[in-house]
Amino acid sequence: MGFFKKLTSPIVWGNLLAILIVTIVLFILVWRGMDSYTHHGERIEVPNLVGKQETDACYRLNQLGLHGVVVDSAYNKSMPAGCILDQTPTSGRKVKSGREIFLIVNTTRIPTVVLPDIADNSSLREAQARLTAMGFRLGNIEYVPGGDKDWVYGIKSRGQNVYAGDRVPIDVPLVLQVGGGSSDIDLYDDMDDESLGEEPLGLDDVSE
């Protein structure tokens, strides 16, 4: 009987009620804390950063509660050095506050590429196709006397000859030195053709 009296005691029910209230309050506090920590329901639209300078882009992101992180660099000669070339996520996407936005920045240095084995190993058409596919720019063709027609005998960059294995700035036009198809043999052939057109000297002409 004493046990049942204790169960029905106002003190016991009061303690149980207090524990229940504390449990509910703690649950609400934890739920609200998690909701605040994960920014539940909060979405920020990512701005368009392409073309902006890195410092301006990062400042803009900080104002919105986002963080800009430069993850790579590339080269685009048509855009200013230090500007944003690409971003992830792209503009218009909605993300949570505190999200990192990955940026690719235009480098100030012109990239270089290893020159392939072209000289004395390719025709003009083959060399042009291979070099342009690698991203090289091509300048005017420089024809050299002698040699096979449209055969590449050398390559110049900034007026200097470059060779297979050299690292060449990709933005500097390459000049292909190509055979013009004429040779000393051709010149002699032309002379022979001209001499054949003249009348041969007779004995009378020699005696005179």
Identify whether residues 89 and 133 lie together within a single domain.
no
**Assigned domain for 36 exists:** no
**How many CA atoms within 13 Å lie on the side-chain side of 21?**
6
Domain ranges, residue 163: 112-184
Omega prior to 200 cis, within 30 of 0: no
Q: What is the tens place of the pLDDT at every residue in 173-188?
A: 999 999 987 654 444 4
Comparing 31 with 159, which gets the higher pLDDT?
A: 159
Average pLDDT over residues 96-106: 94
**Assigned domain for 194 exists:** no
Identify whether residues 117 and 175 lie together within a single domain.
yes
pLDDT(7) > 70: no
Q: Which of 83, 106, 129 is at the close of a domain?
A: 106
| C-beta separation of 43 from 94 below 8 A | yes
Q: How far is CA 58 from the centre of its chain?
A: 21
Reported confidence tier of residue 61, pLDDT bands at 50, 70, 90:
very high
Reported confidence tier of residue 153, pLDDT bands at 50, 70, 90:
very high
Task: Let me know if 41 is exposed, middle or buried by CB neighbors in 10 A (0-12, 13-18, 19+).
Answer: exposed
Q: What is the tens place of the pLDDT at every residue in 124-142?
A: 999 999 999 998 999 999 9
Q: How far is CA 42 from the centre of its chain?
A: 34
User: In total, how many domains does the chain have?
Assistant: 2
pLDDT(171) > 90: no
Please name every residue paired with 174 in a beta bridge, in sequence order, or none if there are none: 138, 157
What is the pLDDT of the chain when averaged over all its residues?
81
Model pLDDT, residue 142: 93
**Assigned domain for 77 exists:** yes
Identify whether residues 151 and 117 lie together within a single domain.
yes
Strand runs labelled E in the chain:
44-45, 67-74, 84-88, 94-95, 100-106, 112-114, 142-144, 152-157, 160-162, 167-169, 174-179
**Assigned domain for 96 exists:** yes
Average pLDDT over residues 81-86: 94
Identify whether residues 86 and 132 lie together within a single domain.
no
Identify whether residues 62 and 125 lie together within a single domain.
no
Q: How far apart are CA 48 and CA 57, in angstroms?
A: 9
Q: How far apart are CA 200 and CA 191, in angstroms?
A: 15
Domain at 128, CATH number: 3.30.10.20
Q: What is the tens place of the pLDDT at every residue in 15-59?
A: 777 888 888 888 788 777 665 655 555 789 999 999 999 999 999
Identify whether residues 120 and 179 lie together within a single domain.
yes
Model pLDDT, residue 24: 86
Q: How many CB atoms lie within 10 A of CB 66?
A: 20
Residue closest to 65 by CA, chosen among 86, 94, 33: 94
pLDDT(66) > 90: yes
Residues 6+ positions from 34 with CB-CB distance below 8 Å: 40
- What letter does residue 9 receive in the DSSP assignment? -
Average pLDDT over residues 186-208: 45
Q: Which of 80, 106, 132 is at the close of a domain?
A: 106
pLDDT(12) > 60: yes
In this structure, the strands spanning 94-95 and 44-45 are antiparallel
Task: Tell me the range of 47-56, 77-86, 142-151 where mean pLDDT is highest.
Answer: 47-56
Identify whether residues 169 and 138 lie together within a single domain.
yes
Please name every residue paired with 176 in a beta bridge, in sequence order, or none if there are none: 155
Identify whether residues 180 and 121 lie together within a single domain.
yes
